[in-house]
C-alpha cells in the first residue's frame, strides 16, 4: 500500500519543526510516541542500529538514537533519528509500516535538508556535524544558545564571546574555517549577513 502524499508531507513538516526547535523538549514536535527499536520494521531497525553505532563508537559517545511512531490521526509512520549529544544536528529517516524508506534528511542548527539515504549516512559517518555547505537558507537567521552565543540557521556561522572576554565577539565561518574578531555581537551578526549575501 502506497503512503499517502499528505501523510508524508505532514511527516516532513513535523521533522522540519523538530529541527527548527533547537530546545531540550524538541521531541514534542514529533507528535508521536517514542518506541524501542524492537517495534520498528526491519529496515527501520537497521537504521536505528546504524545511527546508534555512528554516535556510540567503542571509545566514546557522541549522541543518541531515537525511534518514534506517529500518532494514529497522522497515519502510521516510523521516524528514526540519530542526533549529536547537543541535539542540534543529526539525521532522520521516515519509514512506512512495511519498512519502505520514504524520506531521509540531515538537520543542523534549525534546518533540515532532504537528500538520499547514502549521502546522509556517509556525511555522518565521521562523527561530526554535516558541513554547512549542505544547508543554504535564503535568509540569515539566528538561534540563541545564550544571550551572547548563537548559531546561524543551517550552522554556517557561530557568534560567541572571545575566550579573552575583553576582546569582544568572535564570528566563526564553518565554510571557510575563518574566525573574525568583532567589537560587538551586533557587529558579528552584521558581518555574517554580508558574508552570507556574497554566497
pLDDT score of 1: 41
Domain match, 115 and 25 both: yes
Residues 120 and 104: beta-carbon distance below 8 Å: yes
pLDDT score of 171: 93
- The residue among 81, 103, 130 that closes a domain is 130
In the chain, what is the greatest distance between 2 CA atoms, to the nearest angstrom?
63
Domain match, 58 and 117 both: yes
Higher confidence at residue 15 or residue 186?
186
Inside any domain, residue 136? no
Average pLDDT score, the chain: 81
Higher confidence at residue 2 or residue 4?
4
CA distance 150 to 6: 34
Residue 90: which H helix or E strand, with range?
strand 89-95
Domain match, 150 and 114 both: no
Residues 46 and 27: beta-carbon distance below 8 Å: no
Higher confidence at residue 127 or residue 173?
173
Domain match, 107 and 180 both: no
Phi and psi at residue 187, to the nearest 5°: -65, -40
Domain match, 68 and 95 both: yes
pLDDT score of 199: 75
Inside any domain, residue 125? yes
> pTM higher than 0.85, yes or no?
no
Predicted confidence (pLDDT) per residue in 114-135, tens digit: 989 998 898 887 767 777 777 7
Inside any domain, residue 100? yes
Query: What separation in angstroms does the CA of 35 have from each of 41, 78, 172?
Result: 12, 9, 38
Inside any domain, residue 183? yes
Domain match, 81 and 114 both: yes
- The residue among 130, 165, 181 that closes a domain is 130
Domain match, 183 and 125 both: no
CA distance 46 to 188: 43
Q: Which three cell numbers stand for residue 163?
A: 575566550
Domain match, 107 and 146 both: no
Predicted confidence (pLDDT) per residue in 13-60, tens digit: 878 877 776 555 566 666 678 888 999 999 999 999 998 888 777 776
Inside any domain, residue 137? no
State the total domains in the chain.
2
Give the domain range for residue 149.
142-197
Confidence of residue 172 (pLDDT cuts 50, 70, 90): very high
Domain match, 96 and 160 both: no
SS3 at position 107 = strand
pLDDT score of 47: 94
Domain match, 93 and 169 both: no
Residues 6+ apart with CB under 8 A from 94: 8, 11, 12, 15, 77, 78, 79, 80, 101, 102, 103, 104
pLDDT score of 42: 95
The stretch 83-93 carries a mean pLDDT of 76
CA distance 5 to 50: 27
- The residue among 108, 130, 152 that closes a domain is 130
Helices (H), the chain: 5-21, 42-55, 117-124, 185-197
Inside any domain, residue 135? no
Domain match, 166 and 87 both: no
Query: Does position 140 have pLDDT exceeding 70, yes or no?
Result: yes
Domain match, 83 and 157 both: no
Amino acid at each position: 500500500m502506497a503512503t499517502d502524499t499528505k501523510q508524508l508531507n505532514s511527516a516532513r513538516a513535523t521533522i522540519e519543526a523538530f529541527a527548527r526547535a533547537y530546545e531540550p523538549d524538541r521531541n514534542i514536535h514529533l507528535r508521536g510516541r517514542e518506541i524501542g527499536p524492537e517495534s520498528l520494521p526491519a529496515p527501520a531497525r537497521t537504521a536505528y542500529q546504524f545511527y546508534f553505532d555512528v554516535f556510540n563508537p567503542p571509545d566514546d559517545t557522541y549522541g543518541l538514537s531515537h525511534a518514534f511512531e506517529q500518532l494514529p490521526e497522522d497515519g502510521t509512520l516510523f521516524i528514526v533519528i540519530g542526533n549529536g549529544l547537543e541535539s542540534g544536528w543529526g539525521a532522520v529517516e521516515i519509514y512506512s509500516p512495511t519498512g519502505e524508506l520514504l524520506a531521509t534528511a540531515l538537520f543542523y542548527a534549525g534546518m533540515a535538508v532532504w537528500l538520499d539515504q547514502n549521502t546522509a549516512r556517509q556525511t555522518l559517518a565521521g562523527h561530526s556535524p554535516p558541513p554547512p555547505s549542505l544547508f543554504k537558507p535564503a535568509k540569515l537567521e539566528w538561534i540563541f544558545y545564550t544571550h551572547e552565543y548563537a548559531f546561524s540557521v543551517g550552522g554556517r556561522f557561530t557568534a560567541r564571546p572571545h575566550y579573552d572576554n575583553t576582546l569582544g565577539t568572535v564570528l566563526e565561518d564553518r565554510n571557510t574555517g575563518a574566525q573574525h574578531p568583532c567589537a560587538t555581537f551586533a557587529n558579528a551578526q552584521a558581518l555574517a549577513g554580508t558574508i552570507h549575501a556574497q554566497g
